[in-house]
């Protein structure tokens, strides 16, 4: 319940404040958001499976974001930033899809 409230509060806060993203963070923010989404869907799946653990969620959330940002940063340094970020988005997208599929199976048995 509180978790959902936190999500809503974050969205509302972002809409109200509407900060501009600093230039240094610009390439990483979208990837970080996708990575966090992946972690969140993974957590939801684990919750429905009954194996949810806040510690695991926090660590996977933070590490997902950091690793995604690191990969993009590395890619930028190597000159393959856009390709690598595309790759990261594809991988995370696949994971989100499979997580959502698992959630759907749990909830709808289909």
Partner 1 sequence: MPDRPLDRVRRGFAARPSRNQAVVAVLLALLGFAGTVQVSEVRSDDAYVGTRRDDLVQLLQSLSVAQTRASDQLAELEQTRDALQLSSQQRQVALEESQDRLEALRLLSGRSSAIGPGVTITIEDPDGTVAAATLLNAIEELRDSGAEAIEINDSARVVAQTWFADGADPADATLVVDSRAVSAPYVVEVIGDPDTLAEAVAFPGGLTDEVEALGGTVTIAKSDELQVESLAPERAVTFGQPIT
Which of 38, 21, 37 is CA-nearest to residue 29?
21
For the bound state, the minimum distance from the C-beta of residue 45 to partner 1, rounded and expressed in Å, comes to 10
DSSP state of 63: H
Residues that bind partner 1 in the complex, under the rule CB under 8 A: 1-11, 13-15, 18-21, 26-27, 29-30, 32-33, 36-37, 40, 43, 47-50, 54, 57-58, 61-62, 76, 79, 81-82, 85, 106-107
The Cα–Cα gap between 3 and 44 comes to 11
For the bound state, the minimum distance from the C-beta of residue 9 to partner 1, rounded and expressed in Å, comes to 5
For the bound state, the minimum distance from the C-beta of residue 97 to partner 1, rounded and expressed in Å, comes to 18
**Which residue lies nearer to partner 1 by CB, 21 or 70?**
21
The Cα–Cα gap between 9 and 78 comes to 38
The Cα–Cα gap between 107 and 82 comes to 37
**Which residue lies nearer to partner 1 by CB, 37 or 91?**
37
């Amino acid at each position: 319940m509180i978790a959902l409230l936190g999500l809503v509060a974050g969205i509302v806060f972002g809409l109200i404040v509407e900060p501009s993203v600093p230039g240094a963070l610009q390439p990483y923010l979208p990837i970080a958001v996708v990575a966090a989404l992946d972690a969140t869907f993974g957590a939801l799946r684990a919750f429905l499976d009954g194996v949810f653990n806040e510690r695991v969620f926090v660590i996977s959330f933070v590490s997902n974001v950091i690793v995604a940002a690191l990969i993009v940063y590395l890619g930028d340094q190597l000159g393959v930033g856009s390709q690598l970020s595309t790759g990261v988005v594809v991988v995370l997208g696949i994971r989100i899809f499979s997580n959502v599929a698992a959630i759907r199976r749990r909830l709808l048995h289909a």
